[in-house]
Structure 1
Amino acid sequence: MRIGIEAQRIFRENKHGMDYVVLQEILQLQKIDHENEYFVFVKPGPDRCVEESANVHVVEIGTPSYPLWEQWSLPRAVRKTGVDLLHCTSNTAPLYCDVPLILTLHDIIFLEPRDKNNKSLYQNMGWLYRRLVVPRILPHCKRIITVSDFERNNIISKLNIPNERMAMIYNGYNSWFKPIEGDETVYKKYMKDKGFLFFLGNTDPKKNTERTLIAFARYLEKSEIKRPLLMADIDQHYLDDIITRNNIDHIRAYLHLPGYIKNSDLPYIYNGAFAFLYTSLRESFGIPLLEAMACGTPVVTSNTSSMPEIGGKDAILINPENPDEIATALLRLENDPAFYESQRKIGLERSQLFSWENTAKQLLSLYEEVAKGLL
């Protein structure tokens, strides 16, 4: 087979969730499959994280905007390379394409009710683009992949996709997320001492940043230790609005805001953290949840969407809309050493059920299944 994989943004320096997923899928396919030929379609960027090999070719397409790249330049490159099928990996795909399509639809949040307070132009434009494109491409997809049973059932029920056209393939996590002893040089770029709380959030309302900060304020009121909170990817003006609106100015002295944290630093941060807060309102999978558990860091996570499925029934599952539950979970971890140690072990065992190698093997089987159906 000659397989095309759309990976538009993997060469950009500041990668995010879907970028990491397709990157790891490509690297694992390159490792396990030496029979098929792959053409990886990317936009030029500074981080050349995929090296060409005998059967993996990188095709750079320089069109500036995302929609034009995907709707115009990508189909032209597909025709030129003569691939047998195209796997689009980030929720959208070309409306017109000459070869069979496989689509990874991570979620359908763009079809669900939105928080009208979201002022991010980038997020709003992406939301509109997906609403326009996705319903039009789904009928043309040979298979639609998603990343959890929760999301699979959600897509089937809301979009009336036939069961036989759906596939569920779990994400994995990188092997360097593991317990690390003794190396303090990396996390000390961000925090002075170990034992901090860690939260990955942003301005997207689904990340539940406001309620998490309210919970942190209530934790500080009752904690004797008063651990600081490291927050990645938080806009200062957005944060200031939350603090002012909720009259929690006293938390400022305990907040550390380094901005974007590169993925290679995260294992050391998880290892330095006392606990990880993954308190989103909604996730289709939740790779950071796995990463923290694999490092032996207890996680406080939500009882909604995919998070109980990925974290498991023994995880600390809270109602993300109730700041008191979040604060109570943190205080229990702090005050109950036996409970803390049990959560470390639960996370380490649970994370072993997932790997990028398993993801790639299932993906390869799907490619072969689609190819056989085309003969």
Structure 2
Amino acid sequence: MRIGIEAQRIFRKNKHGMDYVVLQEILQLQQMDHQNDYYVFVKPGPDHCVKDSSKVHIIEIDMPTYPLWEQYALPKAAKEIGVDILHCTSNTAPIHCNIPMILTLHDIIFLEPRDKKNKSLYQNMGWLYRRLVVPRILHKCRRIITVSEFEKNNIINRLNISERRMAMIYNGFNDWFRPIDDEEEKYKNYMPEKGFLFFLGNTDPKKNTERTLVAYSRYLERSEVKRPLLMADLDRDYLNGIISRNRIDNVREKIFMPGYIPNQDLPYIYNSAFAFLYTSLRESFGIPLLEAMACGTPVVTSNTSSMPEIGGINAIQVNPENADEIADMLIKLENDSEFYRQQKEWGMARAELFSWRKTAEQLLDLYREVYMER
């Protein structure tokens, strides 16, 4: 087979969720499949995280905007190379393309009501682009992959897609997420001492940053330890707005905000943290949940969308809209050492069920299936 994989953004320096997923799929396929040829279409960038090999060929396409790159340059390049299948990995795909396509549709949040408080131009433009493109491509895709049973059922019900055309393939996590001794004390690049709370959030309302900070304020009011909070990828002005609106000045001096944390530093952060807060309102999968669990870090997560499915029945699950529930669980972890130990053990055992190798094996099976149906 000659398989095309759209991976437009994997060479950018600051990668995010979908970038990491396709990057790990490509690296695993490169290791395990020595029969088929892969053509990986990327936009030029500083981080050359995948190298050419005998069966994996990197095709750099320079185009100024995402829509032009995907709608014009990608199908043109794929046709010129003569790929048998084109796998588009980031929720959208070319509208005009005669090559058999597979689409990874991580979620359909773009169909859900948009929070008017979201002022991010980047996020709002992405939301609009998906609303315009996805309905026009679904009928052209031979298979639609998604990443959890929750999201699969959601897509089937909302978009009226037959189950036969759907494929559910879980994500994995990198094997460097494990219990480790930070001999170099890399955590000190971000925090002065171990034993802090860690939260990965941003300005997207679904990340529930505001309510999580209210919960943290209530935790500080009740805790004897009063652990500091590390928050990644957030700016000070956004934080100040939350503090002012909710009158939670007690959090101001306890929060550390280093900006973007590279993925290779995250294992040291998780291992040095007392607990990880993953209190989103909605996730289609939730790789950070697995990463923290694999490191043996107790996680407080939400009882909504895919998070109970990924975290498992014994994970700490709270109503993400109830700040008191979040605070209660932080206090319980702090005061109940046996409960804390059980959560560490449960997380590490649960994480063993997921791997990028399993993801790639299922993906390769799907490529073969679609190829045989041409």
TM-score > 0.5, shorter chain as reference: yes
Counterpart of 2:328 in structure 1 is: 328
Supply the distance in 2 between the matched residues of 1:342 and 1:235 (Cα, whole angstroms): 35
Q: Deviations over 1:46-81 (max 9, x none)?
A: 000001100100000000100000001001101111
Gaps of 5+ in 2: none
Residue aligned with 1:133, SS: helix
Q: TM-score, normalised by structure 1?
A: 0.99
Counterpart of 1:89 in structure 2 is: 89
Supply the distance in 2 between the matched residues of 1:75 and 1:128 (Cα, whole angstroms): 21
Counterpart of 2:286 in structure 1 is: 286
Query: Does the 8 Å contact 1:232/1:260 carry over to 2?
Result: yes
Gaps of 5+ in 1: none
Q: Deviations over 1:223-257 (max 9, x none)?
A: 00000000001122111111000000111110000
Q: Deviations over 1:320-339 (max 9, x none)?
A: 00000000000000000000
Counterpart of 1:276 in structure 2 is: 276
Counterpart of 2:118 in structure 1 is: 118
Q: Deviations over 1:110-156 (max 9, x none)?
A: 00011110000000000000000001000000000000000000000
Query: Does the 8 Å contact 1:180/1:268 carry over to 2?
Result: yes
Counterpart of 2:199 in structure 1 is: 199
Counterpart of 1:65 in structure 2 is: 65
1:182 is displaced (CA, Å) by: 4.1
Residue aligned with 1:3, SS: strand
State how 1:193-232 maps to structure 2 within 5 Å: 193-232=193-232
Residue aligned with 1:181, SS: coil
Residue aligned with 1:349, SS: helix
Query: Does the 8 Å contact 1:173/1:291 carry over to 2?
Result: yes
1:185 is displaced (CA, Å) by: 2.4
1:184 is displaced (CA, Å) by: 4.4
1:197 is displaced (CA, Å) by: 0.1
Counterpart of 1:258 in structure 2 is: 258
Q: TM-score, normalised by structure 2?
A: 0.99
Supply the distance in 2 between the matched residues of 1:81 and 1:48 (Cα, whole angstroms): 22
The runs of 4+ residues in structure 1 deviating greater than 3 Å are none
1:183 is displaced (CA, Å) by: 2.2
Supply the distance in 1 between the matched residues of 2:301 and 2:27 (Cα, whole angstroms): 29
Supply the distance in 1 between the matched residues of 2:120 and 2:184 (Cα, whole angstroms): 35
Supply the distance in 2 between the matched residues of 1:182 and 1:365 (Cα, whole angstroms): 39
Supply the distance in 2 between the matched residues of 1:264 and 1:182 (Cα, whole angstroms): 13
Supply the distance in 1 between the matched residues of 2:64 and 2:330 (Cα, whole angstroms): 45
Query: Does the 8 Å contact 2:232/2:258 carry over to 1?
Result: yes
Counterpart of 1:131 in structure 2 is: 131
1:194 alignment partner AA: K
State how 1:1-375 maps to structure 2 within 5 Å: 1-374=1-374
Identity %: 73
User: Aligned pairs, how many?
Assistant: 374
2:49 alignment partner AA: C
Supply the distance in 2 between the matched residues of 1:223 and 1:184 (Cα, whole angstroms): 30
Residue aligned with 1:283, SS: coil
Query: Does the 8 Å contact 2:182/2:268 carry over to 1?
Result: no
Query: Does the 8 Å contact 1:184/1:268 carry over to 2?
Result: no
1:98 is displaced (CA, Å) by: 2.1
